[in-house]
């Protein structure tokens, strides 16, 4: 009886357990942000310039407003962001960038790209791939992992990506309905130039960004998030279908499968609804879409001959790797490789791992494989960190209802795993090893992992014992 009386008033509990019982519950996300109160003020200018850069990269306003083209908005904002980041960190006595394992791998790929350039078929062309593209990818990756330091910053960046993808998808669907900007007769020719410049790249990028758009629509209540959910997500799915990209479609299937698997712990109800909606949509797919997808297994269903051409490119890419296994033929130089001896002359490998193997050799392929693996590990580490916070510290305390903050961050971790899986499968059909998408998703995964690790350990829910005490 005395034990029961002491338990009711917490007086007989050990100090650590009594602190858990009497302390008001702190939401996971609030604890994460509260543990770093200065971070929202640090590198603020660099962060805002990064957001503007991503906006220009995806929305590409200069394509419609031609007077903006001479301003080089992306280059200006990226350069200004780097200057702002460097000056802010130097003034605080810190190094320019955090040397995370992922950044070291991206940096190693860049260095190897430059070191192998002198042995390239066209050294100037290989160096141009670095200066014109990959150096910018490296800089933006550094900006993401250094400035995305709070949940709010993370969600703002994801919202811009989701909104931009939705905008491009809606434009593409409208073009398809009106019968304009089509290729090969009945495929969307792409949204705008850049990330979405052709059907295959558009489908790949939309597969990679779709999970993030879904989480934004599920978790945020602003008008923009609701628009992404009501209009953007259906448009993204339709754009992938109308692109009739075999790689994009296979990537979409894998992405949805991984997303459902990862969501089963967090939001099993939503996972079930997505599965039912997917199954219900299959009979509604257009006939020309299903016939093109069947060409993956049946060459007779491919009147364009692209299936056989891709097989030939795979053989030629593999041969290029065997001929130059150490240093490769140079970044971006597969198109120039033995044009007189190839059936697919002046064409790319259409396979990202083979692209790296043939152009950067075995070491480049190892670095690239480690990069992709590190992305999955970062997303998994974020989920593990959240689950570690969610477990009650004392097994005698039963967990209560799942908090909305835990739910939100766990969904982002699931979405990033699905994004990487979808990107990787779609990239088996595209030459996108040095392009933006992988490094944007990887940077977000690293940022989320470090954000979730930065907070103080707190229980995910209101312990059952505390609810009993509070009610008395």
What confidence tier does 409 reach under pLDDT thresholds 50, 70, 90?
confident
How many other CB atoms are found less than 10 A from the CB of residue 223? 8
Q: What is the mean pLDDT of the chain?
A: 82
How many other CB atoms are found less than 10 A from the CB of residue 302? 18
Residue 328 CA to residue 338 CA, distance in Å, equals 14
Residue 342 has pLDDT above 90, yes or no: no
- Would you state the pLDDT for residue 304? 66
Residue 365 has pLDDT above 90, yes or no: yes
For the stretch 285-292, contacts whose Cβ atoms lie closer than 8 Å and that sit 24 or more positions apart, written own/partner, are 285/241, 286/241, 288/186, 288/244, 289/241, 289/242, 289/244, 292/244, 292/246
How many other CB atoms are found less than 10 A from the CB of residue 71? 12
Regarding beta strands 182-183 and 187-188, do their DSSP bridges make them parallel or antiparallel, or are they unpaired?
Answer: antiparallel
What confidence tier does 377 reach under pLDDT thresholds 50, 70, 90?
very high
Q: What is the DSSP string of 96-137?
A: SS---HHHHHHHHHHHHHHHHGGGSSSHHHHHHHIIIIIHHH
Convert 420-455 to b/e letters by CB count within 10 Å (16 or more is b): bbbbbbbbebbbbbbbbbbbbbbbbbbbbbbbbbbb
Q: Which of residues 272 and 345 earns the better pLDDT score? A: 272
Q: Which of residues 73 and 19 earns the better pLDDT score? A: 73
Q: Which of residues 371 and 225 earns the better pLDDT score? A: 371
pLDDT tens sequence across 104-143 = 999 999 999 999 999 998 999 999 999 999 999 999 999 9
What confidence tier does 64 reach under pLDDT thresholds 50, 70, 90?
confident
What confidence tier does 11 reach under pLDDT thresholds 50, 70, 90?
very low
Which of 50-54, 300-304, 348-352 comes out lowest in average pLDDT?
300-304
Mean pLDDT, residues 289-309: 69
Q: Which of residues 348 and 373 earns the better pLDDT score? A: 373
Residue 293 has pLDDT above 70, yes or no: yes
- Would you state the pLDDT for residue 396? 40
- Would you state the pLDDT for residue 305? 64
- Would you state the pLDDT for residue 407? 75
- Would you state the pLDDT for residue 398? 41
What confidence tier does 48 reach under pLDDT thresholds 50, 70, 90?
very high
Asked if 336 contacts 125 with a C-beta cutoff of 8 angstroms, the reply is: yes
Q: Which of residues 146 and 89 earns the better pLDDT score? A: 146
- Would you state the pLDDT for residue 4? 40
Mean pLDDT, residues 453-471: 45
Residue 376 CA to residue 98 CA, distance in Å, equals 20
Residue 364 has pLDDT above 70, yes or no: yes
Residue 402 CA to residue 73 CA, distance in Å, equals 43
The tokens describing 245, both together, are: 């990209």
Residue 69 has pLDDT above 80, yes or no: yes
SS3 433: coil
The tokens describing 433, both together, are: 């090893």
CA atoms within 13 A on the CB side of 373: 8
**Which DSSP symbol is given to 66?**
G
pLDDT tens sequence across 410-455 = 899 999 999 999 999 999 999 999 999 999 999 999 999 999 887 5
Residue 271 has pLDDT above 80, yes or no: no
Residue 9 has pLDDT above 70, yes or no: no
Residue 266 CA to residue 413 CA, distance in Å, equals 11
Mean pLDDT, residues 453-460: 50
What confidence tier does 35 reach under pLDDT thresholds 50, 70, 90?
very low
Asked if 6 contacts 428 with a C-beta cutoff of 8 angstroms, the reply is: no
Residue 297 has pLDDT above 70, yes or no: no
């Amino acid at each position: 009886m005395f034990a029961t009386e002491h338990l009711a008033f917490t007086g007989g509990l050990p100090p650590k357990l009594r602190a858990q019982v009497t302390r008001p519950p702190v939401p996971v996300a609030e604890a994460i942000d509260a543990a770093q109160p200065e971070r929202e003020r640090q590198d603020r200018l660099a962060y805002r310039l990064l957001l503007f850069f991503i906006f220009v990269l995806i929305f590409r306003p200069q394509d419609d407003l031609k007077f903006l083209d001479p301003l080089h908005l992306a280059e200006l904002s990226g350069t200004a962001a780097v200057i702002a980041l460097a000056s802010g960190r130097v003034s605080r006595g810190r190094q320019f960038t955090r040397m995370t394992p992922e950044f070291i791998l991206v940096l190693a790929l860049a260095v190897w790209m430059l070191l192998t350039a002198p042995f390239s078929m066209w050294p100037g062309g290989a160096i141009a791939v670095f200066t014109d593209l990959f150096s910018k990818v490296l800089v933006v990756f550094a900006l993401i992992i250094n400035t995305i330091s709070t949940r709010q910053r993370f969600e703002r960046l994801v919202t811009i990506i989701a909104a931009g993808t939705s905008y491009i998808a809606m434009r593409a669907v409208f073009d398809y309905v009106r019968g304009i900007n089509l290729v090969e007769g009945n495929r969307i020719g792409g949204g705008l130039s850049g990330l979405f410049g052709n059907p295959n790249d558009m489908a790949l990028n939309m597969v990679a960004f779709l999970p993030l758009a879904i989480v934004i629509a599920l978790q945020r209540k602003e008008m923009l998030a609701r628009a992404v959910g009501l209009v953007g997500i259906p448009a993204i799915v339709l754009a992938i279908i109308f692109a009739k990209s075999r790689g994009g479609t296979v990537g979409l299937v894998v992405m949805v499968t991984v997303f459902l698997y990862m969501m089963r712990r967090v939001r099993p109800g939503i996972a079930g609804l997505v599965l039912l909606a997917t199954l219900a949509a299959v009979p509604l797919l257009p006939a020309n879409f299903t016939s093109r997808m069947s060409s993956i297994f049946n060459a007779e269903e491919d009147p364009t001959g692209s299936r056989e051409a891709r097989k030939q490119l795979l053989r030629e890419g593999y041969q290029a790797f065997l001929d130059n296994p150490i240093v490769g033929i140079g970044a971006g130089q597969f198109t120039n490789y033995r044009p007189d001896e190839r059936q697919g002359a002046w064409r790319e490998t259409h396979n990202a791992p083979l692209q790296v193997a043939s152009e950067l050799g075995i070491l480049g392929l190892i670095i690239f494989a480690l990069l992709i693996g590190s992305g999955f590990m970062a997303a998994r580490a974020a989920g593990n960190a959240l689950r570690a916070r969610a477990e009650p510290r004392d097994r005698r305390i039963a967990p209560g209802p799942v908090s909305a903050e835990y739910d939100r961050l766990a969904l982002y971790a699931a979405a990033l795993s699905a994004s990487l899986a979808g990107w990787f499968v779609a990239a088996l059909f595209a030459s996108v090893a040095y392009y933006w998408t992988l490094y944007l998703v990887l940077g977000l995964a690293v940022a989320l992992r470090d954000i979730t690790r930065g907070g103080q350990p707190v229980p995910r829910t209101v312990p059952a014992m505390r609810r009993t005490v509070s009610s008395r």
